Structure 1
């Protein structure tokens, strides 16, 4: 089929109806692919050219119908990606070569697996991959990176000349638990005892919780959450990626997918976590506290969301990037994928050898983790 190819620098040039009609047709759909989420990132200035995320979405059209699209950015750094290529950039620099700018397909600041080759058919997905190859061959940039595609799309990209890289996240899987105690009963005795002790410490500290649906959250709730979010970044001597305008935008445009968990003590809020969900999956995103209370992090960011998953029958809780400590709380290792293409032949060969070696290490690491399964 013949397509009209367009590079789009603003989602408004595509339109919400066309974008969501395509994104919503994907098997691996999630709220982060929605027009509301992506547009809020761009319109708020959180992910835009000024912050090093210049949108250059690759789209294929048949007449006025959007047939395929790839969220794509020209990046001037590697912040906010969660698949680390800083060593590659440093190797380029030490050899007098420019690694930046580069092309990146990802949901900014969101290490969540989901379709990247958005297409109405397998044939359109293959054509989109070919269009990406043509683009990267002609643009003179150092490299192209596609982060957190589902495995079938990663394998399609591999057939198009990309090198695959694997990683590990930790996900909680709902086995039809009746309640939190039913979940605890599935864990080994030590893990069960530790979780109960952690929850008891928070309760004895006089902390109570409000679980606030996005449709009911007030601006004051969002402002308090943002205060907690900022404090977490400050504690790590880092700058927050997302601004208040972003959170208020998604609170207006996609509240049905959002939830705030607010911890209170003596009638005042002391901590908050923010999760995103659909009917099948809950995604842990951010947390923060303005008081230091033992075990408050685990209760606010893990146990309260698990209560919600069990009550709603949500099948999976994706705990976010990294975090081996999550295994002690019932999360299990899951392999993630990314795909990479480098224009420089010598560097491509070197990185391919590195990725082959790294893949063996990742597989061994997952095997080791599975041997420490927290369940009975």
Structure 2
């Protein structure tokens, strides 16, 4: 117990937390902070078991009341994180030093910026973070962990973590922002002529298919079987496995998150009930998040249509401000997705590599700042007339 009466400790399932307590900590407006999302990963076997992601959520109590929570995982590898640390892991291996297990405050397989610390209203964030960071530091000092990593926290939390002595790291992603467009053509009109023609050509190439937008409530069991088939086929071709998300986890999301699920699907014109490709998205309070893509056959134009253009149209029609179409991919830049800076925060057990890691983070940040400026200059929007 700390002087503030705050007591940190581990929980090994989100279902150890009563639903009213969870709702007091996190705003359900962000889909990936919902208990239902993380529970679907746990209960469906996408995490725990042999996945290398072991549920280890950091809870803080004040007396008998749960006042804060950091969803997290004990990791034995670095897959599925997207703010990757493979180079650091390799450097440890060469010395050799143990690098795993590490603890990550992250959303499994979901590189989306959002709440990483949930708190009950009226709780002192500074006091909670101090207790949390001291608890993690003790775990490092005792050799229970070799690093504690916060992946894609919101900017304000990243700053607060830096004040607690963590090292910041950065990433660049691409985000579409709704500039009060009336419709998709209005968006196109803001682009230069070359990009307008390119996008028109790409969209025309998909006119032979039936394109549909389906909400989670409209998806049938047959739809879900086909979506999973597309997802697994794409992963199998690209990575040699069936993907990180199990069919059981998808089925649980279908039951518990239907109101936040949106699917853009392409149906075979000859077999109208057959889905040939689909992008599964989640809707937040003011944003759409593109998460899972799958297709029975590779088709770049169809990928652009379902993963980008359909999402942009949806955001315009629904009045959503942002479309986060997923990590990586400079091809998003060419289609109007602006580069944005994202964050990570790290604490490592003290080793001979500590100074080198800190220097690496600083150099990486300088490089990303230059890249961010160059990418912003390459956006295809027409210059504003002053």
- TM-score, normalised to structure 2, is 0.93
Is this contact kept in 2: 1:58–1:72, CA < 8 A?
yes
Aligned CA distance change for structure 1 residues 238 and 338 (closer, same or farther; 3 Å): farther
Structure 2 CA distance for aligned equivalents of residues 49 and 134 of structure 1:
29
Residues 1:199 and 2:203 are matched in the alignment: yes
Q: CA shift at 1:217, angstroms?
A: 0.5
- Counterpart secondary structure, 2:153: coil
Which residue of 1 is the match for residue 211 of structure 2?
209
Deviation by residue 1:93-132 (Cα, 9 ceiling, x = unmatched): 1112110111111011110001212223686332332233
Residues 1:251 and 2:257 are matched in the alignment: no
Structure 1 CA distance for aligned equivalents of residues 287 and 335 of structure 2:
17
- When the two chains are superposed, the root-mean-square deviation of aligned CA atoms in Å is 1.5
Residues 1:220 and 2:222 are matched in the alignment: yes
Which residue of 1 is the match for residue 319 of structure 2?
313
Structure 2 CA distance for aligned equivalents of residues 115 and 346 of structure 1:
33
Q: CA shift at 1:64, angstroms?
A: 3.9
Q: Which runs of 5+ in 2 are unaligned?
A: none
- Counterpart secondary structure, 1:374: coil
Alignment of structure 1 residues 43-122 onto 2, 5 Å: 43-120=43-120
Structure 1 CA distance for aligned equivalents of residues 201 and 147 of structure 2:
49
- Counterpart secondary structure, 1:325: helix
Structure 1 CA distance for aligned equivalents of residues 314 and 149 of structure 2:
35
Q: CA shift at 1:199, angstroms?
A: 0.5
Q: Which runs of 5+ in 1 are unaligned?
A: none
Alignment of structure 1 residues 1-376 onto 2, 5 Å: 1-24=4-27, 30-120=30-120, 124-139=124-139, 140=143, 141-203=145-207, 206-239=208-241, 240-265=243-268, 266=270, 267=272, 268-293=274-299, 295-376=301-382
- Which stretches of structure 1, 4 residues or longer, exceed 4 Å deviation after superposition? none
Q: CA shift at 1:150, angstroms?
A: 0.7
Q: CA shift at 1:5, angstroms?
A: 2.7
- Counterpart secondary structure, 2:292: strand
Structure 2 CA distance for aligned equivalents of residues 294 and 121 of structure 1:
46
Q: CA shift at 1:293, angstroms?
A: 4.2
Is this contact kept in 1: 2:57–2:72, CA < 8 A?
yes
Structure 2 CA distance for aligned equivalents of residues 24 and 97 of structure 1:
40
Aligned CA distance change for structure 1 residues 280 and 361 (closer, same or farther; 3 Å): same
Deviation by residue 1:216-249 (Cα, 9 ceiling, x = unmatched): 1111111111111111111212421001111110
Structure 2 CA distance for aligned equivalents of residues 238 and 166 of structure 1:
29
Structure 1 CA distance for aligned equivalents of residues 359 and 347 of structure 2:
13
Deviation by residue 1:41-94 (Cα, 9 ceiling, x = unmatched): 111110114311111211112344321111121110001100110111111111
- Counterpart secondary structure, 1:236: helix
Structure 1 CA distance for aligned equivalents of residues 169 and 149 of structure 2:
10
Structure 1 CA distance for aligned equivalents of residues 20 and 50 of structure 2:
27
The answer to which of 50-59 and 140-149 deviates more is 50-59
Q: CA shift at 1:133, angstroms?
A: 2.5
- TM-score, normalised to structure 1, is 0.95
